[in-house]
Structure 1
């Protein structure tokens, strides 16, 4: 069945993405994409620190390609690494940064870590951020701490476009879960209303009129050029046609002359024959 083939293919892609994410921990791994090419499978890895993934003289990539070939039966995997433009707008990288900082500094400075990450993310242009840290922090009793700043949608179509990620930090007290949600700056909300002044409206009107005039001028110029081309083509056709007729007429006149000469020759021959017969 075709459906089963699609399911098995997507399951294999998910397993490859999970394997790459687990093997590339704490190196700024964001996400992985898989593409099919005529040469084989192309795996695109997005990360904040590509140098750590590549390794010295490409040793890490070679090991990763070997393991992918053996474990997932890939024919010719080609790994490509791209750098993430803005690190603080990627929820996966931010969650990994929080987890690594908690493992490094411990649970005593978790509030400072959360507030610093929030200021960095909002300074990068994000509309809002939410960080949930759950575990035995700071005492032996499990608790959830929430860090929130800006505006964040929780429902609707715009909530599906929010970048979210999960990460885990292994501490002495136990495992700590980290959940990060970031609202990107390019997200358009349905209730965004902008009030414009009269000056702005006038500027927009003048700009629109200028654009329309330019477009009309371009259209008129194109029409004139097309009409000129059509007239030139018609003139060329008119000039070419009589030449053909003249040639045809000349050929016809030549044929008629030949025919008339043949007829005269025939009449001369017939007259000669009659004269010879009469003499005999």
Structure 2
């Protein structure tokens, strides 16, 4: 079989790359869930595969003298067959505006015995102190009885419909397993950016105002001449 016949179609190559990227992200999420892992980007470079890991506390992921990063590099190379993986750990600039970090904080507080209402209200306060326009926290599960229900805490403005709700409002859904059962935690955050329904009317410039005033004066003079 010639080399042209062995060539992989473009769409298959794209699918293979996306599957490999998904596998890398799922592995990092599973391996670094307790170290404050948030998200990652996988980039192909001439030197290999560069993986940018975003974390709330980078020191916990790097480890002492980079032990955890070295271990992750070996696992990615051997188990997932990633070509020359290079891991860079970057901190999140404003963790209070990241819904995944907030959901993980609520889950961690509930595992430590903090009441769900207190954990939810503390999360709302942290989000608003971070500069958000609005926050919504929904906790579902066996909250006060054997029957499952949910409680929702809202502060500020939260967009539920339209283009802004799909593209600008940040949302994350997490779970935490406690003795009564599985609890769901949903966090929505309205970041401090401009939305479609926000507008500002600019005052007219001096030239436009002068022209409008001149037209009013001319209109007044024309009316006086018509009366005479």
Deviation at 1:119, TM superposition (A): 1.1
Deviation at 1:161, TM superposition (A): 2.0
Deviation at 1:135, TM superposition (A): 1.0
The two structures have a TM-score, normalised by structure 1, of 0.67
- What residue in structure 1 maps to residue 47 of structure 2? 39
Structural mapping, 1:222-237, within 5 Å: none
The two structures, once aligned, show a CA RMSD in angstroms of: 1.8
- What residue in structure 1 maps to residue 188 of structure 2? 181
Does the CA-based 8 Å contact 1:29-1:92 persist in structure 2? no
1:15 to 16, 23, 32: 23
Q: Deviations over 1:117-154 (max 9, x none)?
A: 10110111111111111111132221111111111112
Runs of 5+ unmatched residues, structure 1: 206-280
More helix by share: 1
1:100 to 108, 117, 121: 108
Does the CA-based 8 Å contact 1:26-1:100 persist in structure 2? no
Q: Structure 1 stretches (4+) deviating beyond 4 angstroms?
A: 195-198
Report whether the alignment pairs 1:190 with 2:190: no
Q: Which has the larger radius of gyration?
A: 1
Runs of 5+ unmatched residues, structure 2: 1-8, 210-228
Deviation at 1:112, TM superposition (A): 1.1
- What residue in structure 2 maps to residue 231 of structure 1? none
Paired with 2:63 and 2:69, the residues of 1 have a C-alpha distance of 7
Deviation at 1:197, TM superposition (A): 6.7
Report whether the alignment pairs 1:49 with 2:32: no
Q: What SS does the corresponding residue of 2:143 show, helix, strand or coil?
A: coil
Deviation at 1:196, TM superposition (A): 5.7
Q: How many residues align?
A: 198
| Structure with larger RCO (C-alpha < 8 A, sep 6+) | 2
Report whether the alignment pairs 1:171 with 2:178: yes
Report whether the alignment pairs 1:151 with 2:149: no
Does the CA-based 8 Å contact 2:58-2:91 persist in structure 1? yes
Paired with 1:166 and 1:71, the residues of 2 have a C-alpha distance of 29
Q: What SS does the corresponding residue of 1:116 show, helix, strand or coil?
A: helix
Paired with 2:132 and 2:102, the residues of 1 have a C-alpha distance of 13
Deviation at 1:27, TM superposition (A): 2.3
